[in-house]
Amino acid sequence: MNQTETPAGSQSAQVEETQSTRGFLAIWIGQAVSVFGSELAQFALIWHLTVQSRSAIVLTLATLTQMLPRTLLGPIIGVWIDRWNRRYVMQIADALTASVTMALVVLFYLGLAQIWHIYVLLFAAALGQMMHASAFTASTTLMVRTDRLTRVGGLNQILEGITRILAPPAGALLIESLPIQTILSIDVATALVAVTPLFFVHVPQPAHGTTGEPASLWQDVKSSLEYVWGWRGLAIVTGISTTVNFLLVPAFSLLSLIVLEGFEGGARQLGWMEGAFGIGILTGGALLGVGGGLKSRIDTVIVGTGLLGLMMVVVGAVPANGILVAMGAMFVAGVGLSVGNGGGQTLLQMLIVPDMQGRVFATLAALRSLMAPLGLALAGPFTDRNGAQLWMLCAGISITVMVAAMRFIPEVASIEEHERS
């Protein structure tokens, strides 16, 4: 009797797994299309603000507007993701982005669009993207086999690489040939592409009760912090990751100054540097997608991020006539960033229990996002006094040392022995 039932049960599980994987891919493809459309729209809007205002303050406020949802609302949104049906969260996120963008299309068409309208769209778009991405990332562990999660991280890095390489030139080409409301309409269409599979794909929900049911929203937010800080290995990884972001964001934000002052180059050389970095991210994602990274996920994070730090040292140290060396270093840095980020995402998906993933991922993202403006505030005066290249050098040394030290901290080196404990 058992001999006849076992194959049937196995076949049924196989069919269910295949359907779940296909569902994941359908959502992922829709999200990829939507991300590219959003990048086109944001490129067009930022260029519009640049031309119309010619103001650094206006552009800085636009950047801060895009950061605010993740920094201020991230932990609360994460709680909602864990409490609500994650498929509905993604649908609401896509509908929010499409609705606000469509309103701006109408305003541009009527000639009524103001700068504050664009700020509202950038805020809403950032909020929608955060909601969709957080809910989808938290659902991934329930839709994809454990041994394939690293490959999924590779796919995400490939998407980032492709977007970095293709979106800016595509956006520039569209701006020269189409009115801005038409470009924004592309974003609306791609949002519809993203939301469509969600009406047909089953998105599994986590089994609640693993961590108890907090009585209030604040307790749920607090529980995500307690979950991280109460686990020493995860707390150390989080602290290092946050510090890396603090150093990394200013370093790459100052790349234009490094090219101009350090290498005496122009816009073309800056484009080469950024292009090399984007191709590196794409290559690193492909390596993860095909090979799955190192056997140890924490080693994948250490090797990738350590490689990034070393290449930042190279960019910060080479002389003015070494721009070709710096371009090569930027390519390898992109590979390292891609491998480190992809491996880190997989590590967290494996470590954190499913019904905590929404709030924990959002809280960690908020902490990393908070570090960006703090790093920029410190890097500005430092760079004015010492040069942008020295910040890149010091940041690279610091990142390399911190990441190398992770391998010698027992709680970090053995962190995978405590998966979802």
Tell the residue number behind the tokens 């729209």, with chain if given.
41
Query: Strand runs (DSSP E) across 133-191, as ranges?
Result: none
Q: Is the distance from CB of 372 to CB of 67 less than 8 angstroms? A: yes
Distance of alpha carbon 148 from alpha carbon 317, whole angstroms: 38
Q: What is the mean pLDDT of residues 379-396?
A: 86
Looking at the chain, the whole-number percentage of residues with pLDDT higher than 70 is: 87
pLDDT at residue 317, as a whole number: 92
Q: Is the distance from CB of 236 to CB of 406 less than 8 angstroms? A: yes
Confidence grade of residue 106 (pLDDT, cut at 50, 70, 90): very high
Confidence grade of residue 182 (pLDDT, cut at 50, 70, 90): very high
Q: Is the distance from CB of 403 to CB of 218 less than 8 angstroms? A: no
pLDDT at residue 55, as a whole number: 63
Residues in Cβ contact with 18 at an 8 Å cutoff, skipping those fewer than 6 apart:
none
Report angle CA 343, 345, 347 to the nearest 5 degrees: 70
Residue 3 has pLDDT above 60, yes or no: no
Report angle CA 67, 73, 79 to the nearest 5 degrees: 140
Q: What is the mean pLDDT of residues 66-81?
A: 76
Give the closest residue to 143 by CA, choosing from 194, 226, 201: 201
| Count helices and strands in the chain by DSSP H and E runs | 16, 0
- CB-side neighbour CA atoms (13 Å) of 26: 16
- For the ranges 55-69, 121-135, 220-234, which has the lowest average pLDDT? 55-69
pLDDT at residue 248, as a whole number: 86
Residue 1 has pLDDT above 60, yes or no: no
pLDDT at residue 420, as a whole number: 45
Q: What is the mean pLDDT of residues 55-71?
A: 71
Q: How many residues does the chain have?
A: 421
- For the ranges 103-107, 147-151, 178-182, which has the lowest average pLDDT? 147-151
Q: Which run of H or of E encompasses 419? A: none
What the block records as the tokens of 361 is 């991922």
pLDDT at residue 11, as a whole number: 54
Cα 149 to Cα 126, 134, 143: the distances in Å are: 25, 16, 10
Q: What is the mean pLDDT of residues 262-267?
A: 76
Report angle CA 337, 339, 340 to the nearest 5 degrees: 65
- For the ranges 198-202, 292-296, 297-301, 340-344, which has the lowest average pLDDT? 292-296
Residue 210 has pLDDT above 50, yes or no: no
| pLDDT, averaged across the chain | 80
Q: Is the distance from CB of 142 to CB of 206 less than 8 angstroms? A: yes
**Angle, to 10 degrees, between the axis of helix 323-351 and the axis of helix 115-143?**
60
pLDDT at residue 66, as a whole number: 78
pLDDT at residue 217, as a whole number: 63
Q: What is the mean pLDDT of residues 110-121?
A: 88
In b/e form, how buried is each residue of 88-103, taking b as 16+ CB within 10 angstroms?
ebbbbbbebbbebbbb
pLDDT at residue 306, as a whole number: 93
pLDDT at residue 207, as a whole number: 65
Distance of alpha carbon 334 from alpha carbon 336, whole angstroms: 5
Amino acid at 34: S
pLDDT at residue 393, as a whole number: 94
pLDDT at residue 307, as a whole number: 93
Torsion sign over Cα 365, 367, 373, 377: negative
Confidence grade of residue 211 (pLDDT, cut at 50, 70, 90): very low
Confidence grade of residue 4 (pLDDT, cut at 50, 70, 90): very low
| Tens digits of residue pLDDT in 346-379 | 787 777 777 777 777 777 777 777 777 788 778 8
Q: Which run of H or of E encompasses 264? A: none
pLDDT at residue 418, as a whole number: 64
Q: Bigger pLDDT: 191 or 268?
A: 191
Tell the residue number behind the tokens 């070494």, with chain if given.
322
Q: What is the mean pLDDT of residues 95-117?
A: 89
389 φψ region: left (φ > 0), alpha (ψ -120 to 50), beta (else): alpha
- For the ranges 18-22, 159-163, 329-333, which has the lowest average pLDDT? 18-22
